[in-house]
Structure 1
Amino acid sequence: MSKQIKGVTNFDPAKDIPSLVGKVILVTGGTAGLGRESVIAFAAHSPAHIYFTGRNAPAAKSLIAEVQGKCSNVTLTFIKMDLSSLRSVKEAVTQGFKHDRLDILMNNAGIIAKPPILSIDKYEVQFATNHLGHAMLTNHLLPHLLKAANEPNSDVRVISNTSDGYEFHRLIKGGIDFRGLDSGSTMNKWVLGPWQRYGQSKLANILFAAELARRYPQITSVVVHPGVVRTPMLTEMRGFVRWFNDTACWLVGIVPMEPHQGAWSQLWCAAGANKEVLRNGGFYRPVGIDATEDLKGEGRNAELAIKLWDWSENVLRKFE
């Protein structure tokens, strides 16, 4: 077991997630890595339906066959979606989501340390994928989340993934470069550019989750750092980015976890933990450690969270 696994050390998704009968779940990035592991874990507890998104249709087909081979009573729907394209997100969720309620939304998908390029919508691609795409998705699913939340004895949760890499936002004045985002800049920086861009997108995940909790307290919204995990996000790194990541992990003694372990933290927050245990708007480390008070830099800046929310809403309106 990796030395990252601490806190709720005895968490076992197979035993500690209660029945999910009647629950409707959506997981982004469900065809690989932590998303795939989460879909498999949820399915073992008989939810009413699982939606999962991604871009790899053959991988989705394989996952559905695997899950239904073990849990024949569980139905799944793959929604093909490119989170870096806001129109794609809107069209995919509008056409693909068929239920009137949603109990668990896991904003899991993401990209890391990419070259300085723009999304199809002309936003820096990591910010577009990691934050704006999930903001669009959450916005369109909000009525379904609220419907479930307004029912008696409800327990509706939105789990968003972030990373300790959010701390690289401190290399950007103000934490998030709104002017650069608005101008269509690729934000090509000389000093740790890929990590600066990644850091501001992961900061946005933290602030968005906290602001969602403040605006809609009937929904439990938390943000999770899963740890360093041996998923394609890690294994497909190349060049300096890979060297920097591996060196940083080695210096602090981090051993990357396997995907099934890496999913524990988000699964604990999504379904394993009692609702009353979770801090709404909180930041969690593996597994079940409330690290909200440890957030650094702009990670606890409520004014910046409001600014990000309002700025994001203005962006999303352009693609409605």
Structure 2
Amino acid sequence: MLQWAFGRSFDPSKDIPTLAGKVVLVTGGNAGLGKETVLQLAKHEPKEIFLAARTRSKAEAAIAEIKVAIPKVNITFLELELSSFASVKQAAKDFQARSDRLDILINNAGVAALSYSTTKDGFEIQFGTNHMGHALLTQLLLPTLLETAELPDADVRVINVSSKGHMFAPPSGIVYEQAALEKLEPLGRYGHSKLANILHARELQRRHPSITATAVHPGVIITDIYETYSKTSLAMRYLAPVVKAVASYGILPDVYDVAGGALTQLWAATASREKVRSNYYWTPVGVKNAGTKFAQDADLAAQLWEWTTKEIARRAL
């Protein structure tokens, strides 16, 4: 595909090594990039894939479809609502009851372009879902990740699916007062949450060097945020169909269909450990990117980590 020429050529069927014995967890695995990620990883014989999603019926339908292509794969549904700390805690508990190892955690799920509201735990809905929910899940699974990292030949990865949209974060970077986020447009709140995804991965690897943690921009996936925006933006209503039409031809850099959009997170989850851990943010496919000045701010990453940890402790632990 021509779109691969703008980055690293990566063919999941050939370039993903065997995953024999490994356990994988993918959030939002029932549709879109998550489903494609589960499908491609399933081809390489992992011990088990946990497909985390909100709705059992949709998850089971996705699992059934994947098993048509790969009958022997072991996929387990894990109920997870990232906007609810109670659900995240239960999901972590359910996972740990079934598995004593976790080799690859792909924090893929997310929401975009939502009107202002807050989660039950008091966070702006996009920040609460995209960052806080994944941060709590990662924290609760961290003991398992670290124990797995001590095993012979271990190669533990945590991949946060961020977005180039992090450039739309507010001028102050991270906003800790959640009510203040109401003043931002939906895209600004989305960018705020995606910036947090990058900073979280960056600080996770710094604090726990036995784990390879990084964030990725999957590309412009027209079936995601742009579909939502087309309902509220007149300009996007006309632009989205045009971009969608050319995406399949691979003639625009950074514009992908779902299969192409999953490549960077698949690459980050399975490519050379030394290469992947050499940067905290990647664009398609496997291209180093510094991100915005806020994404480059190691002090901000540490500050967000400390704030997140305290907020989690207040509400969930």
> Structure 1 residues 238, 300: CA separation in 2 closer, same or farther (over 3 Å shift)?
same
* 1:123 paired residue number: 123
Q: In the alignment, which residue of structure 1 is the partner of 2:247?
A: none
1:201-220 to 2 correspondences below 5 Å:
201-220=193-212
- Asked whether the equivalents of residues 8 and 288 of structure 1 are also in contact (C-alpha less than 8 Å), the reply is yes
- 1:242 deviation in Å? 7.1
CA apart distance, 1:26: 0.1
The Cα shift of 1:90 comes to 0.7
Change (3 A) 1:115 1:18: same
The question of 1:188 aligning with 2:182 is answered yes
The residue matched to 2:256 in structure 1 has which SS?
coil
Q: Contact between 2:113 and 2:225, CA under 8 Å: does it hold in 1? A: no
Distance (Å, rounded) in 1 between the aligned partners of 2:192 and 2:103? 28
Higher mean C-alpha deviation, range 41-50 or range 57-66: 57-66
What residue is the counterpart of 2:166 in the other structure? 166
Q: Could you give the per-residue CA deviations for residues 21-60 of structure 1, whole angstroms, max 9, x where no partner exists?
A: 0000000000111000000001000000000111122221
CA contact (8 A) 1:127 1:201 kept: yes
Equivalent pair of 1:114/1:126 in contact (CA under 8 Å) = yes
Determine the C-alpha separation between the residues in 2 that align with 1:39 and 1:242. Answer: 35
Aligned 1:91-110 pairs, distance under 5 A: 91-97=90-96, 98-110=98-110
Q: How does 1:16-27 map to 2 (within 5 A)?
A: 16-27=15-26
Q: Which runs of 5+ in 1 are unaligned?
A: none
Q: 1:276 matched to which residue of 2? A: 274
Deviations 1:233-258 (A, max 9, x none): 432434444735975997xx667411
TM-score, normalised via structure 2 length: 0.90
Residue of structure 1 in register with 2:249 after alignment: none
Spell out, residue by residue over 1:49-85, the C-alpha distance to the aligned partner (whole angstroms, 9 max, x if none).
0001111222211122122233232211111111011
Q: CA RMSD for the aligned pairs?
A: 2.1
Aligned equivalents of 1:68 and 1:113: distance in 2?
33
Aligned to 1:119, what secondary structure does the other structure show? Answer: coil
Does the aligned pair in 2 maintain the 1:162–1:202 contact within 8 Å?
yes
| 3-state SS of 1:154 partner | coil
TM-score (normalised: structure 1): 0.89
Partner residue in 2 for 1:305: 301
Q: C-alpha offsets along residues 100-149 of structure 1, whole Å, 9 cap, x if unaligned?
A: 11000000011112101111111100000000000010011111111111
- Give the aligned partner of residue 319 of structure 1: 316
Q: What is the rounded CA distance, in whole Å, between the counterparts of 1:206 and 1:78 in structure 2? A: 27
In structure 1, distance between residues paired with 2:28 and 2:232:
26
What's the CA shift string for 1:180-211, capped at 9, x where partnerless? 22xxx16222xx61111111111100100000
Residue pair 1:5, 1:286 contacting (<8 A) in 2 also: no
Match of 1:226 among 218, 233, 240: 218
Aligned length: 306
Name the stretch that deviates more: 309-318 or 57-66: 57-66
Q: Structure 2: how far apart are the matches of 1:290 and 1:256?
A: 17
Query: CA–CA distance in 2 between the matches of 1:36 and 1:139?
Result: 24
Relative distance call for 1:33 and 1:6 in structure 2 (3 A) is: same
Deviation at 1:8, TM superposition (A): 1.1
Q: Is the 8 A contact 1:149 1:218 kept in 2?
A: yes
Query: 1:149-174 CA distances to partner (integer Å, 9 max, x unpaired)?
Result: 111221111110111111112x332x
Structure 2 gaps of 5+ residues are 244-251
